[in-house]
Amino acid sequence: MRLVFSNPYLLALLPATLLAAGCGGSFTLAPGAGNSVVLSSHVVGASTGSSASASTGQVVVGSQPVPVETSAVLQWSAAFPDGISADVRWSVTGGDPHSGAGSVTDAGLYTPPAWLTVDAATVTLHARFAGSATDAATALLRITPGFIRPLAPENLALGAGATATFSASIAEVGGTASVHFALPASGVGSLSTPACKRSPLASENPAYTVCSVTYTAPEGIAVSQSVELLAAVTAPSAIPLAVPPPGSALSTAQLLLNPQGVTSNPAIHQQMLALPVALGSSAGSNTDYDSAHGQLTDCCGGTLGALVADTSGNSYVLGNNHILARSDQAIPGATVIQPGLIDNGCTPFGEGPGSTPIASLVAYPPLSAPSTRVDAALARVAPGSVDATGTILELGSLQPDGTLAAAPPGVSSTAGHGEPAQLGMEVAKSGRTTGLTCGSITAINTEVLVDYYRDCAETEHAFRKRFTGQIVASSPSFSDSGDSGALIVDSANAEPVGLFFAGGVDDRGVVQAIANPVSDVLADLGRSLATSANPIPLHFVGAADHRVTCLRYPEQHFAPPALSSAAKASAAHALEMARQWAAASAPEPLLVPSADQLAPDGSALPAISFGGILPVSTPRFFGGVPTHVDAAASVPLDASALARAERVRDSRSAALFAMSSAIFGVGVGRSADNPADTALILFVDRSQAAPALPASIDGERLRIIRMDRPHVTRGRGQPAVHGCRPDGSLLPRSLPALALRPLPQP
């Protein structure tokens, strides 16, 4: 679950969480002690609170342990006071009386116990020199339960006075820890008293703690608004403050309050459906799980995207290769189940209840082949298992009770072949995790690098795939892990546009969703199905074109940093050029922060604004400084301007990728400084040092989007505490310490 700092409630958490992201702790021996070393750590994986404190080789009374939640990982290192690395041997002691202290590798990577039976456990980390029987230094860690499953649903649309239940699971068996739920302000609804379901360790079927709360929307909603519900793991000893203490595991959910009275809950997409099942629902390969020591450790899944047919009348469900074919690892005939393993406790069909086989894998263009343009797969439908009309959940009209009807995609205007994406086109998707959401096409003809893994935990890297000609759709809460395979349609007519397969969140909290164009999907799959040189023609199964009831979560206001004196000075000559151009025919130009770019250090870069809407003859740059023009994002882009931008992209993309390893995508879209103008869209990994980039390339504006590096968006699930072997036999109840490790959610 993403943590978006978008309201005062969460902004108050910034100092603690920023410290956590930078350092897990630092511990030093007393001055003058022999062989003194400094232990330091940084967080890898889920969030954790942290504070630096000092210690001698033996932890002094009153020193503060480093707070770590169960789903986080700490990377420890040791160094002498002069900064030279120290070669030490790591070990841990203490911990939970049943699940232990966790583990630490020879390289100092510490993994906490997967779950707890107490609200907090203390672990001692030991660092010793080779051959020594005494510690060179130690550190105390305070382990608290993190989320097994974060707040669900993670987004939800509600009308006035409507109610919905949210729940979260935490990694504690027994104990007394719970989840504290909170709203950002009064007047945005109310919460019931939370209730937690927990079972003692000695019970017949011990399970993780699950806490739930009911939210009631306010009466009288005049305009659509987004409200963020926050959940934090707390122990009874903790005072329920407005701001949870450092070390608390946090999760959020977005609520869209709307005056139309629409109620849309993604939970219906995650349920086991009656046959024939609708599309837009949870699904996956029956063998898409990780295992270790004969034990199933976690599992994956995604979304049934659409129904596809060939000219012989054969029907297939469409999804992603990385969902239905496990990133080239599956063989034809593999079983596809609904819901996916992520939604039935990671229990494969044949090992227990909770899922239904609906199709068998028949074809997928191999991702490992350079010629493959899509991440797609087809599975032949078992008779009577999938709705024969191609119905997709929530793609239909608003019902009297506020819910959205299921409906097929539109196929009447394209004979089932879909339509090309256009910049600014409003699109919708119906997926397993976020349900029905809408956004806009913000980049086309995009070249992007995407990493693939062999396992659900994404620890075994398989390859990096270069895709070309891709579509990018954007909006808050548009998609998330588990939505992979969802069909993206034109919201005006429900015609297929793209197949969603990867994405991430930018530094403004906006989802950037990457999709294969449907024309490439049908063509590549047709070649994969063929037994000769001639591809098999395919088309989408659907009905007459129809409008989709769009759900669009509002964007949070983003205030760019102010221009520094140095930035203003650097643009002084350009500003004077703009003054001379404007003369008496345009307003006095001013320097404003650019909306397209930031400097590598995060400071503002200058743009020149004249205020108001200027003639199309306004220069794009003055002395290398871009112009900032107020224009509506819905203004159509000139076809010749788009062609010009695509020519620059084609000629310069290789050089841009070579400029920095942080750059992973180049596309064509609109400028944020002037939405009526084109720009090259550069996607940059925000976890890496940002490269210094010009404002333009070959006269084309350059717009930078800093975001998470795109991941193939499989959802992840976990089995019950006792675990489940692939052969179906349960682990002994007396061995709960073999419980499964919670995985961080992307």
206 and 327 in a single domain? The answer is: no
Nearest Cα to Cα of residue 511 among 481, 478, 558? 478
Q: Is the pLDDT of residue 642 over 70?
A: yes
pLDDT in tens, 542-578: 999 999 999 888 887 777 789 999 999 999 999 999 9
Nearest Cα to Cα of residue 633 among 411, 454, 523, 475? 475
327 and 410 in a single domain? The answer is: yes
CB 7 within 8 A of CB 184: yes
CA 636, CA 582: separation in Å to the nearest integer? 25
What residues contact residue 479 under an 8 Å CB cut-off, 6+ apart? 429, 431, 433, 434, 437, 486, 500, 503, 511, 513, 713
What is the CATH number for 197?
A: 2.60.40.10
Residue 728 domain flag: no
Question: Which one of 144, 161, 195 terminates a domain?
Answer: 144
358 and 456 in a single domain? The answer is: yes
Neighbouring CB atoms inside 10 A of 686's CB total: 16
Residues 586-590, mean pLDDT to the nearest whole number = 84
pTM: 0.84
pLDDT of residue 21: 26
Residues 175-188, mean pLDDT to the nearest whole number = 91
pLDDT of residue 4: 27
Nearest Cα to Cα of residue 304 among 280, 273, 269? 280
217 and 332 in a single domain? The answer is: no
55 and 91 in a single domain? The answer is: yes
CB 663 within 8 A of CB 703: no
Residue 176 domain flag: yes
467 and 334 in a single domain? The answer is: yes
pLDDT of residue 533: 85
CA 324, CA 621: separation in Å to the nearest integer? 48
pLDDT of residue 720: 62
- At residue 125 the predicted structure's pLDDT band, cuts being 50, 70 and 90, is very high
pLDDT of residue 735: 25
Q: Is the pLDDT of residue 146 over 50?
A: yes
296 vs 55, more confident: 296
CA 679, CA 83: separation in Å to the nearest integer? 46
Residue 372 domain flag: yes
Q: Could you identify the residue written with the tokens 């993190």? A: 146
pLDDT of residue 687: 87
Give the rounded distance of the alpha carbon of 440 from its chain centre: 18
Mean pLDDT check: name the lowest of 163-167, 205-209, 482-486, 547-551: 205-209
Residue 656 domain flag: no
53 vs 139, more confident: 139
Prior bond of 694 cis (ω within 30°):
no
Question: Which one of 630, 646, 676 terminates a domain?
Answer: 630
Look over the chain and give the mean of its residue pLDDT values, rounded to a whole number: 85
pLDDT in tens, 183-196: 988 899 999 999 99
156 and 114 in a single domain? The answer is: no
Distances (CA, A) of 114 to 70, 76, 246, 470, 730: 6, 19, 20, 39, 19
Residues 721-730, mean pLDDT to the nearest whole number = 36
Question: Which one of 243, 268, 293 terminates a domain?
Answer: 268
Mean pLDDT check: name the lowest of 119-128, 411-420, 482-491, 583-592: 583-592
Q: To which H or E segment does residue 290 belong?
A: strand 289-292
pLDDT of residue 9: 26
Share above pLDDT 90 across residues of the chain, in percent, rounded to a whole number: 64
- At residue 451 the predicted structure's pLDDT band, cuts being 50, 70 and 90, is very high
DSSP state of 97: T
User: For the chain, what's the residue count?
Assistant: 746
Q: How many domains are contained in the chain?
A: 4
pLDDT in tens, 680-713: 999 999 988 888 898 999 999 999 999 988 877 5
Mean pLDDT check: name the lowest of 25-29, 342-346, 634-638: 25-29
310 and 218 in a single domain? The answer is: no
CA 743, CA 505: separation in Å to the nearest integer? 19
Q: Could you identify the residue written with the tokens 């002395």? A: 623
CB 541 within 8 A of CB 307: yes
Q: Is the pLDDT of residue 16 over 60?
A: no
pLDDT of residue 584: 65
What is the CATH number for 377?
A: 2.40.10.10
596 and 548 in a single domain? The answer is: no
pLDDT of residue 205: 76
Residue 743 domain flag: no
pLDDT of residue 101: 96
pLDDT of residue 713: 58
pLDDT of residue 554: 84
**Which amino acid, residue 242?**
A
Top-ranked range on mean pLDDT: pick from 16-20, 251-255, 318-322, 618-622: 318-322
- Domain span at residue 596 reads 571-630
Residue 486 domain flag: yes
Q: Is the pLDDT of residue 443 over 80?
A: yes
Q: Is the pLDDT of residue 140 over 70?
A: yes
Give the rounded distance of the alpha carbon of 75 from its chain centre: 23
Residue 727 domain flag: no
Residues 124-141, mean pLDDT to the nearest whole number = 91
274 and 253 in a single domain? The answer is: no
Residues 663-669, mean pLDDT to the nearest whole number = 97
Distances (CA, A) of 92 to 51, 96, 99, 102, 140: 20, 12, 13, 7, 10
CB 101 within 8 A of CB 157: no
What residues contact residue 691 under an 8 Å CB cut-off, 6+ apart? 600, 659, 660, 662, 663, 684
383 and 278 in a single domain? The answer is: yes
301 and 415 in a single domain? The answer is: yes
CA 100, CA 120: separation in Å to the nearest integer? 12
pLDDT of residue 532: 84
Residue 693 domain flag: no
CB 648 within 8 A of CB 697: yes
